[in-house]
Amino acid sequence: MQRRGLIIGAVVVFVLLIGGGTISTYNTLVTLDQEVDSQWAQVENAYQRRADLVPNLVQTVKGAAAHERETLEAVTEARARVGSVTGVGAAADPQVLQRYQAAQDQLSSALTRLVAVSEAYPQLRANENFLALQSQLEGTENRISVERRRFNEAARDFNTRRESFPTVVFAGVLGDRFKAKAYFTAAAGAAEAPKVEF
């Protein structure tokens, strides 16, 4: 009788340990998943701030450098592309993140050309609105960089936990619920300094 009680007690303890471990693992993955989603929202927020600055910047440049139509159109088109590419699901889908990042990189490139063109116009460099917008844009680019880094850190924390044993087994059982998170990567050619020609 006493032996039977010990066996039942051991089985109950084993089941409680497994159940507790499973609940703890699930809750940890949920917490880390929410961190990634929260940080993704911050990335989108920073990109939206930049997109909101673009129309004012274009209008300011247009007044001083009207014959730079090609550059202004490139910025406007790149901003429109950014608006049409959604980042929904980008944290868990590398292809969605890649498309989103490519659209943002095109806008970054167009804005770099726009700012470079502005250097050729002294009246534009003296324009207070332009200088304020340029300063806000620089600050926003820094925010984007910080938020992307924080997103990558949150994705790394999630992926590290997800790939650790025994969590990897548990995550595999749940299938798509806890897929590995994608990372922001440097744009192709980012290691090369941009060429600016006047």
Better-predicted residue by pLDDT, 197 or 83:
83
pLDDT at 52: 93
- 8 membership: H or E segment, kind and range: helix 2-64
What was the pLDDT predicted at 192? Answer: 60
- What pLDDT score does 51 carry? 92
Q: Is the pLDDT of residue 147 over 80?
A: yes
| pLDDT higher at 156 or 84 | 156
DSSP state of 127: -
Neighbours of 166 (CB within 10 A): 10
Give residue 29's pLDDT band: very low, low, confident or very high (50, 70, 90). Answer: very high
Contact 60, 130 (CB under 8 A): yes
Give CA separation, 194 vs 63, 110, 112, in Å. Answer: 26, 12, 9
For residues 15-42, average pLDDT:
89
Answer whether residue 43 shows pLDDT above 90. Answer: yes
Q: What is the Cα–Cα distance from 31 to 21, expressed in whole angstroms?
A: 15
Q: Which of the 8 DSSP states describes residue 85?
A: S
pLDDT, mean of residues 24-34:
92
> What is the Rg, in whole angstroms, of the alpha carbon atoms belonging to the chain?
25
At 149 the pLDDT is 96
The model's pLDDT over 69-111, given as tens digits with 9 standing for 90+, comes to 788 888 989 999 888 888 888 888 888 899 999 999 999 999 9
pLDDT at position 160 is: 96
How many C-beta neighbours within 10 Å does residue 62 have?
A: 13
Distance of alpha carbon 86 from alpha carbon 59, whole angstroms: 26
Enclosing H/E stretch for 123: helix 122-125
Per cent of the chain over pLDDT 70 is 92
Q: What is the pLDDT of residues 106-145, one digit of tens each?
A: 999 999 888 888 888 887 777 888 889 889 999 999 999 9
Q: What pLDDT, on the 0 to 100 scale, is given for residue 191?
A: 53
